[in-house]
Structure 1
Amino acid sequence: MSVKHGLLALLERGPMYGYQLRAAFEESTGGTWPLNIGQVYTTLSRLERDELVRALPEGEGGQRSYEITGAGRAELALWFATPVSRGDRPRDELAIKLALALTTPGVDARAVLQTQRTATMRGLQELTRLKSRSAAPGDLAWRLVLDSMLFQAEAEVRWLDHCEASLSRYAAPPEPVPVAPEEEPSEEGARR
């Protein structure tokens, strides 16, 4: 998800200023995607430049709220109607890290796998604890985000299992160590 579309979706609820948008964004994602307030205001400036939002007059507290425009609603509707393709997602750092571990001399790829598995399992346990604590019906958005993170962690564990099995199956066998041929007894040793 882009911050741009996240802010547009939040502004569809009604006008908000930067700090409100930041808090609502973090609440909507269950705190899994913290935003820097500078990123919020930079994005708002771009949205305003592109006429997707408009700044409202300053309020009593000196805060400038923003509201979504018709063009912003059209952009948001298009975003919701367009599926997310695998190519639109960020590169998978873990897959790249493992590929490099396999091809970098002196790196123990199995240790890299095991370190990641341990961290992923810890994360999975924490997510499971969080899920058991959030049972309120109003928490559906947070529960869905949490479920997504759980499924991703479970898939990562399965992928790590697959990688480990592949390493065992396809890893080059160790180079044979040359063994010195046995010496034949000398003539002197044969006479004795």
Structure 2
Amino acid sequence: MSIRHGLLALLERGPRHGSRLRTEFEARTGGAWPLGIGQVRTALARLERDGTVVREGVDEAGHVLYALTEAGRAELRAWFARPVEPASPPRDELAVKLALAVGAPCADVREVVEAQRRHVTQALHEHVRQRAEVLSGAPGGPERIARLLVLEQRICGAEAEVRWLDHCEARVLRLTRAAEAAE
């Protein structure tokens, strides 16, 4: 996802200034992608240059307000309609770490797996706690739903990582035993 499309999505709800866009972006994504105000300003300048947003005056505090143009709406609709392609090739530091730990004299793959499992399990518990907190709160609008979607993606990702780590541990154990039996 680009910051560009995130800002266009927020501007669809009406004119906003840069600081408000930054705050709303982080609130909607649950902090999954923190933005600096400089990133927002740069993105807004490019969006304006490309004709997808226009300046629409200033608010009472003197902040420049930006509004979506028809070209911006069209780009936003096209972005929502396009499936997300995974990065290619995917670069997963954990997969690389485990692959390099195999046969490394200073590493025990099972210890690497266990340390990662503890870390991911702790993160999983925190995500579940946060989800319960959001669900127990007062009914909310799009921000609440957006927060839940982000938390549930994190929960599913952590659960998948734990399953994969279990698989890795079992695979390493089987192969180690087979190698020892062959000796």
TM-score, structure 1 as length reference: 0.82
Distance 1:90 1:65, change over 3 A: farther
- Taking only the aligned residue pairs, the percentage that are identical comes to 53
Tell me the residue number matched to 1:168.
173
Tell me the residue number matched to 2:129.
129
| Unaligned ranges ≥5, structure 1 | 178-192
Tell me the residue number matched to 1:147.
152
- Hey, what's the Cα distance between the residues in 1 that align with 2:156 and 2:127? 10
Match runs of 1:84-163 below 5 Å: 84-87=84-87, 91-102=91-102, 104-135=104-135, 136-138=138-140, 139-163=144-168
- Cα deviation digits, residues 37-94 of structure 1 (max 9, x gap): 1111111111112211112233332211111111111111111001112236963222
- Hey, what's the Cα distance between the residues in 1 that align with 2:91 and 2:99? 13
- Between 122-131 and 95-104, report the one with greater CA deviation: 95-104
Q: How much does 1:157 deviate?
A: 0.4
| RMSD, aligned α-carbons | 2.3
* 3-state SS in 2 of match to 1:137: coil
- Hey, what's the Cα distance between the residues in 1 that align with 2:5 and 2:32? 17
One-letter amino acid of the structure 2 residue matched with residue 152 of structure 1: G
Task: Find the structure with the greater CA-based Rg.
Answer: 1
- Between 74-83 and 88-97, report the one with greater CA deviation: 88-97
Tell me the residue number matched to 1:70.
70
- Hey, what's the Cα distance between the residues in 1 that align with 2:89 and 2:59? 38
- Hey, what's the Cα distance between the residues in 1 that align with 2:113 and 2:60? 55
- Hey, what's the Cα distance between the residues in 1 that align with 2:15 and 2:89? 29
- Cα deviation digits, residues 4-48 of structure 1 (max 9, x gap): 111110000111111100110011012232211111111111111
| Unaligned ranges ≥5, structure 2 | none
Match runs of 1:42-57 below 5 Å: 42-57=42-57
Distance 1:34 1:176, change over 3 A: same
Q: How much does 1:174 deviate?
A: 5.5
Distance 1:104 1:51, change over 3 A: farther
- Hey, what's the Cα distance between the residues in 1 that align with 2:97 and 2:55? 43
TM-score, structure 2 as length reference: 0.86
Aligned residue pair count:
177
